[in-house]
Amino acid sequence: MNFATFEPVYEAILADFGFDRAADERARDVAADLATPFPLDRLGDWEDATVAVAGAAPCLADEVALARDADVVVAASTAADVLADRGVAVDCMVTDLDKNPETAAELTRDGVPVAAHAHGDNVPAVREWLPRFADDWTLATTQAAPAGPVLNTGGFTDGDRAAFLADHVGAGELVFPGWEFDDPAVDPLKARKLDWAARLLRWLERRRGERFAVLDGRREAADAALGESLGDDG
């Protein structure tokens, strides 16, 4: 996914949430000053692999086997802790530093890649935590245009960014333990973000010509919502 392809979706997200693009760009620039280039081949060989994109919903505890059986495990946020507690090592963590940055920092020091995301609302966390990460294992990301060492491979929430990253480096199949789009425990803002995550996964599914089981029963609504957001058929 290149930014030119992703940008119309990014603009739709900005419009829907009232986010400030300039704030995202300032956060990106802060990250760029703190990060070093991260060649994507440092992730390892994900090409044609089955990649488990582990979400942080409570159901992950019951779906650990799906991650354990995958070739590669990419964990969104606190999913890394849940999997570690159950003896499943992760190959990459994706985080915007809002819940368990200590885990992310420790993973980088252990030689595990972490995609650390900078956006308009988390500049203090970026300033605090990126210097604590091992540079060689830190991939700085943005939802704005990429700049310097900061990349944008697509996505919005930690979970769907993990899926877009896996797609970007050639994953063969994506599976999704620990996802719950209708989690009643989340607040309204998080619920809207999960709705966007479903739209983006549906977009990715269509681009890949794949069927993600996690989207069963949601495809028609996701298509309609994304098409409405973009003013076309998505």
200: CB partners within 8 A, 6+ apart: 9, 154, 155, 156, 160, 163, 164, 226
Long-range pairs for 61-68: beta carbons < 8 A, 24 or more residues apart? 61/86, 63/177, 63/178, 64/88, 64/177, 66/175, 66/176, 66/177, 67/177, 67/178
Q: How far is CA 147 from CA 29, 86, 111, 143, in A?
A: 8, 37, 24, 11
32: CB partners within 8 A, 6+ apart: 140, 147, 148, 149, 150
Q: Mean pLDDT, to the nearest integer, of 83-102?
A: 97
Q: Mean pLDDT, to the nearest integer, of 220-229?
A: 94
Task: Indicate the burial class of 57 (C-beta count within 10 angstroms; 0-12, 13-18, 19 or more).
Answer: buried
pLDDT in tens, 1-17: 999 999 999 999 999 99
pLDDT in the model for residue 93 = 98
pLDDT in the model for residue 185 = 85
d(CA 71, CA 50): 5
pLDDT in the model for residue 184 = 86
**Residue 233 pLDDT greater than 60, yes or no:** no
**Residue 234 pLDDT greater than 50, yes or no:** no
Domain locations in the chain? 3-230
Q: Mean pLDDT, to the nearest integer, of 84-99?
A: 97
**How is residue 60 written in tokens?**
């992950």
Predicted confidence band at 74 (pLDDT cuts at 50, 70, 90)? Answer: very high
pLDDT in tens, 105-152: 999 999 999 999 999 999 999 999 999 999 999 999 999 999 999 999
What average pLDDT is seen over the chain? 96
Q: 215: closest CA among 82, 55, 58?
A: 55
